Amino acid sequence: MGINDELGFDARVAIVTGAGQGMGREHAKMLASRGARVVANDINAERAAETVAEITVDGGVAVADSNDIVTAAADIVQTALDAFGQLHIVVNNAGINAFGRFWEMDSETWWRVFDVSVKGVVEVSRAAMPHLIASGSGRLINVSSNALMGVPLDSAYAAAKSAIWGLGNTLAAEAKEVGVQVSTVLPVAWTPMTEDAFRDPVVQDAMRAHVPASAVSAFVAWLAHQDTTVYGEAFEVAGVAAARTAFSVMPRMKTAEPTPESWAASAGDLMQDGGLEPLRNASQSFRGQMVHLAPELDTVLPADAADVSVR
């Protein structure tokens, strides 16, 4: 497909969670502008209605939904079925954040950040999956964050986004067997959430200029399209730039024997930098470790050695 061939959605039905503002609103508007029928979900009913109003004034089709993604995910899916009769696309965008030192943040706040982000993705995906399978062109897109690598004062959010990353990688492998394409995006965009997070005016100005939320929505819409065959990975997205991501390891090393003293003596070798080995799934990690310990296993260990679905 050429750059000038417009991607249309031919009345396919999409749910976008957290669609009341920021990236979620842009995702909903982008999909609707290309012909999708959209359920704009946000727990803030007024903001969800505002998103629908913006879509409809531009000639798009959308309905608002204010059900809680954690406790009423099935009702969100039912909104799509009641309004449009089917479901093809889910964009799990909703999430919240709160900042503070881990040991100083109260437990209720910490778990609310984690639960809204993770349980929301899990429950909406679980409720949607039978309908995505039935559609024949199901697309499930989960929004993670580069915060999964760790951000001081943001432990709940970082932990949640790490969980979404791991969940997405696993669902991608499972869902491809039933015709559903699952992908994860790690976006950088100027939104109300990032405005609260970054107070440095230099950072704010750079983000306003280079990473509008609508740019991420263009990438999400491409992943969601029924003709797109790229899926199953986690992609960094910022403005008009994107990259595939992979967990990587430095060169492996061995210690003389399995004792604390031996590891203490080997610390310098362990901490040396070197070439990175990308690991895209648990089997690559497991196999690499085993072959490093016993090279003769290279000829007998299967590529999917850690895949518990293989018997």
Convert the pLDDT of each residue in 187-205 to its tens digit. 887 765 565 555 666 666 6
Give pLDDT, residue 241.
Answer: 81
Among the listed residues 114, 157, 190, 235, the single catalytic one is 157
For residue 13, the SS3 value is strand
Q: Quick count: other Cβ atoms within 10 Å of Cβ 203?
A: 12
For residue 125, the SS3 value is helix
Give pLDDT, residue 293.
Answer: 85
Q: What whole-number distance in Å separates Cα of residue 290 and Cα of residue 161?
A: 29
The dihedral formed by the CA atoms of 246, 99, 28 and 231, expressed in degrees to the nearest 10? 10
To the query of whether residue 231 is one of the catalytic residues in this protein, the response is no
Q: What whole-number distance in Å separates Cα of residue 11 and Cα of residue 260?
A: 62
pTM over 0.75: yes
Q: Which of 50-64, 70-84, 152-166, 233-247 has the lowest mean pLDDT?
A: 233-247
Instruction: Indicate if the pLDDT at residue 103 is higher than 80.
Output: yes
Q: How would you class 248 by CB atoms within 10 Å of its CB: exposed for 0-12, middle for 13-18, buried for 19 or more?
A: exposed
Q: Any bridge partners for residue 244, and if so which?
A: 235
Contacts of 148 (CB under 8 A, 6+ apart): 158, 161, 162, 164, 165, 186
Q: CA dist 211 to 125, 142, 262, Å?
A: 28, 19, 48
Give pLDDT, residue 195.
Answer: 59
Q: Which of 97-106, 219-228, 253-262, 280-289 has the lowest mean pLDDT?
A: 280-289
